[in-house]
Structure 1
Amino acid sequence: MLNNADFSKRLQKVIEYYSESASSFAEKIGVQRSSISHILSGRNKPSLEFVLKVLSSFPEVELYWLMNGKGEFPKIESQNRQEPIAPVSKKDDQNLFTDSKNENPVEPKNSDLLKNLNHKSSNGKIIERIVIFYSDGSFSNFENS
């Protein structure tokens, strides 16, 4: 579950890092000033759309850090991460999350996901991280270490 107070502290840190006012930050991410005010005060929780706008406008902000406080800010980009990500074919996607006996979708197990993190794609790239978003707003993050 998202802790509003902690999220607002991290959002404030982002705003200060970029030397923005709440108004200019709101303008840059394309939301109303009141949205920032309500989130910073703890009155409202951030929507998924809000979080995605922050991430797309400020690439140094890492999702996992912003949501949970784990990880680092600003995000340190490695050179190989700047290459475009190769699309996953429907067949590859089905292989990760289907039961090979009857081709029905199954809930992925942590061990299955972690095993697949070391899978090399057809172009030789290794999966670095898998993030799964659930319908209740929570998510799971699996990183290759």
Structure 2
Amino acid sequence: MVNIDDFVKRLEIILDYYALNASSFADRIGVQRSSMSHLLSGRNKPSLDFVMKIMEVFPDVDLYWILNGKGSFPKNSEEVSESIKAPTPIAANENLATGDLFSQINFKETEKIQTRTPPEIKNQILITEESEMEKIVIFYKNGTFKAYVP
């Protein structure tokens, strides 16, 4: 659970870092000034939408740092550049000749299109109706996990 007093302190650090007052910060992230005031006074807790807007506008704010105080502010330059990279699409057939967008592509009838199975699907086990759920385990990138027993 997010400690509201600590969250407000970290939010004030962000305001100082960017030399913004509360109203200009609210305008930059697209929230009402009153909601910013209520948050800074401790009246309201931050919503997920509020935190996500901060993350969108200020990419060097670390999510774990703003929520829990773990991590660093500002992020390392490597972390910032990785967080704003666009995902690279996977081509359906990598054997295609490179050309412009309007060039004609000739396929051989005997050539089969190879499909890739994403790693998320590859590691799943199919569950039949007779199977009973024992436990749900969620693994996080930082090495921690949570286990839920129904």
Q: Same fold (TM over 0.5)?
A: yes
CA distance 1:67–1:95, shift in 2 (3 Å): farther
Q: Structure 1 or 2: larger helix share?
A: 1
* Corresponding position: 1:18 with 2:18: yes
Counterpart CA distance in 2 for 1:52 and 1:95 is 31
Q: Partner of 1:108: helix, strand, or coil?
A: strand
Counterpart CA distance in 1 for 2:8 and 2:63 is 14
Deviation at 1:39, TM superposition (A): 0.9
Q: 1:34 maps to what in 2? A: 34
Deviation at 1:86, TM superposition (A): 4.4
Q: Partner of 1:142: helix, strand, or coil?
A: coil
Q: 2:148 maps to what in 1? A: none
CA distance 1:76–1:35, shift in 2 (3 Å): same
* TM-score, with structure 2 as normaliser: 0.63
Structure 2 gap ranges (5+): 91-115, 144-150
* Corresponding position: 1:107 with 2:136: yes
Q: 1:60 maps to what in 2? A: 60
Counterpart CA distance in 2 for 1:39 and 1:72 is 22
CA distance 1:87–1:67, shift in 2 (3 Å): farther
Q: 2:43 maps to what in 1? A: 43
CA distance 1:107–1:34, shift in 2 (3 Å): same
Deviation at 1:69, TM superposition (A): 0.3
Greater displacement, 83-92 / 72-81: 83-92
* Corresponding position: 1:93 with 2:125: no
Q: Partner of 2:53: helix, strand, or coil?
A: helix
* Corresponding position: 1:143 with 2:142: yes
How many matched pairs?
112
**Partner AA of 1:9 in structure 2:** K
Deviation at 1:90, TM superposition (A): 7.8
CA distance 1:8–1:90, shift in 2 (3 Å): farther
Q: Partner of 1:78: helix, strand, or coil?
A: helix
Deviation at 1:95, TM superposition (A): 4.4
Q: 2:2 maps to what in 1? A: 2
**Partner AA of 1:84 in structure 2:** A
Bigger Rg, structure 1 or 2: 2
Counterpart CA distance in 1 for 2:126 and 2:24 is 55
